[in-house]
């Protein structure tokens, strides 16, 4: 099925891809700054393993949603979940930076 130029689906795809790319860079930078180098490889390995486990459960779930409700619904579910996870991650990282600044100021 062809989408017309500027369709909401295309805009959503572009927005989601852009947010994913930004989050990847921000999260990688955050890990590199927060984790000592001798532990970084372990943390990055754990992150990769966790991502793989999530995809093992996520891909079949999205396939089932798209089979029973259609691709549009499946992608809408993906977009909502991605926005929720990005919001939670951003909140936790910003909250952590606030704690670091308070500790530096009082110390």
pLDDT per position as a tens digit, 51-105: 889 889 888 988 999 999 998 888 888 888 888 988 898 888 788 766 555 555 5
Could you tell me if 40 and 32 are in contact, meaning their C-beta atoms sit under 8 angstroms apart? Answer: yes
pLDDT surpassing 80 at residue 4: no
**Cα(20)–Cα(51) distance, rounded to whole angstroms?**
13
Rg of the chain's alpha carbons, rounded to an integer? 18
pTM above 0.85, yes or no: no
Could you tell me if 107 and 40 are in contact, meaning their C-beta atoms sit under 8 angstroms apart? Answer: no
What are the structural domain ranges in the chain?
28-106
DSSP code, position 56: H
Query: Between the CA of residue 44 and those of 39, 65, 84, what are the distances in Å?
Result: 9, 31, 22
């Amino acid at each position: 099925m062809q989408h017309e130029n500027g369709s909401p689906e295309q805009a959503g795809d572009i927005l989601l891809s852009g947010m994913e790319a930004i989050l990847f860079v921000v999260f990688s930078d955050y890990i590199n700054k927060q984790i000592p180098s001798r532990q970084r490889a372990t943390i990055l390995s754990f992150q990769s393993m966790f991502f793989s486990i999530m995809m093992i459960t996520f891909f079949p779930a999205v396939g089932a949603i798209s089979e029973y409700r259609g691709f549009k619904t499946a992608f809408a579910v993906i977009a909502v979940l991605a926005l929720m996870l990005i919001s939670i991650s951003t909140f936790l990282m910003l909250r952590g930076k606030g704690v670091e600044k308070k500790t530096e100021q009082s110390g």
